[in-house]
Amino acid sequence: MFHISMLKKCMGDPSLFIPTKNIGIKDSLSYEEIPVQILDRQVRKLRTKEVASVKVLWKNQIVEEATWEAEEDMKKRYPHLFESGEVPN
């Protein structure tokens, strides 16, 4: 368990401070998520058209957090994910 007395001891020791100028954080505190792999593909049939989606594994996330994205949009933004031609069916 963490006690306030421990916090006071750490804050009083200048050797435990981390210099923030070496950390690359944007002013907006955001970062870009990078797709790593296409895990699956599906086509949904609507009344007038078919919509293809791909399940995308993103960097720094586990497989259970992969998201379904429009295949057409992903091909435009990240063509390198489709270059091998091995998109799962």
| Higher local confidence (pLDDT), 5 or 17 | 17
Amino acid present at 55: K
Inform me whether the pLDDT recorded for 4 exceeds 70.
no
The structure tokens listed for 50 are 């078919």
Q: What is the mean pLDDT of residues 27-53?
A: 90
Which H/E stretch holds residue 63? none
Predicted TM-score of the model (pTM): 0.61
In whole angstroms, give the CA distance from residue 36 to residue 56.
Answer: 7
- Quick check: is 25 in a domain? yes
- Quick check: is 10 in a domain? yes
Q: What is the mean pLDDT of residues 37-53?
A: 95
44 closest CA partner among 36, 54, 31: 54
The structure tokens listed for 55 are 């399940």
Inform me whether the pLDDT recorded for 10 exceeds 90.
no
> Would you say how long the chain is, in residues?
89
* CATH number of the domain residue 62 falls in: 2.40.50.40
Q: What is the mean pLDDT of residues 24-37?
A: 78
- Quick check: is 59 in a domain? yes
**Per-residue confidence band for 27, with pLDDT thresholds at 50, 70 and 90:** confident
Percent of the chain with pLDDT over 90: 46
Confidence (pLDDT) at 33: 85
Per the structure, how many domains does the chain have?
A: 1
Q: Which domain holds residue 14?
A: 4-82
